[in-house]
Structure 1
Amino acid sequence: MRAGAGLRAPRHPTRGNLASACKELGLVDRGIALRERTLADRERELGTDHHTTVTTRSNLALDYIEAGRFDEGIALGRQTLAERERILGPDHPDTLTTRSNLELGLSRTGRITRRSRWERRSSLIANV
């Protein structure tokens, strides 16, 4: 057996970075496709609750929102927020980032306006 046979190169971080670069270059659809593929691989290989998988899911939700695919972004953002609150707690920095990204999508669609933090927190997970 040759050296390194059967070992897989760590391509997921590179693919995630490439997805971000595509988005920055205006190749939004290509970036989203790469992020979707990365998420599918991470869910299969690491599990759905792994920190890296949840981070990829959060990034994909934001990608959808920034691409104007609000229904997909908001649905995925809600799912990710619930996961992060369950796994990390409501005040963890990653949870707060996901909450902020979800608020962005909801505000861009006019589904929320300025409300108190506590009102927003409860309305994000429920269907608004």
Structure 2
Amino acid sequence: MLRTLLLLLALCLPASALAQVSDPTPLTFRDAAEETRFNALTHELRCVMCQNQSLADSNAQIAHDLRREILKLMQSGKTDDQIKAYLVERYGEFVLYRPQVERGTWLLWFGPALLLIGGAWIVVRVVRRRSAQAVPGADDGQEW
């Protein structure tokens, strides 16, 4: 009986260790303007764990921590740009949904347009080459 109880305890322990524990205290805002600013900012930033979710939408523990950190930075008087710069310094450009247009991100910003222009150029060349080929005339020697 004791052995069975220990086995059940051992099986339950890893599941409880893997469960996410989030801070149950809700975020408190000074006023509605601060809450609006916070919501706008967290929708512009990407969760570093989830990768395709914003901080506002993510339920990961690091997203909870980052939201608390952002609120703390906001309440200490930091601007949105300063908060973004802090997060970029800590986590890289990946945290921004819209990275800055810099030398390192030119391909990201202008790559799709270059691919579209290159594809259009190839299509134009193929169409011109095919239209330049001799088209058989009406009198090609066949009787029909």
TM, length-normalised to structure 2:
0.27
TM, length-normalised to structure 1:
0.30
Larger Rg over CA atoms: 2
Q: Which structure: greater helix fraction?
A: 1
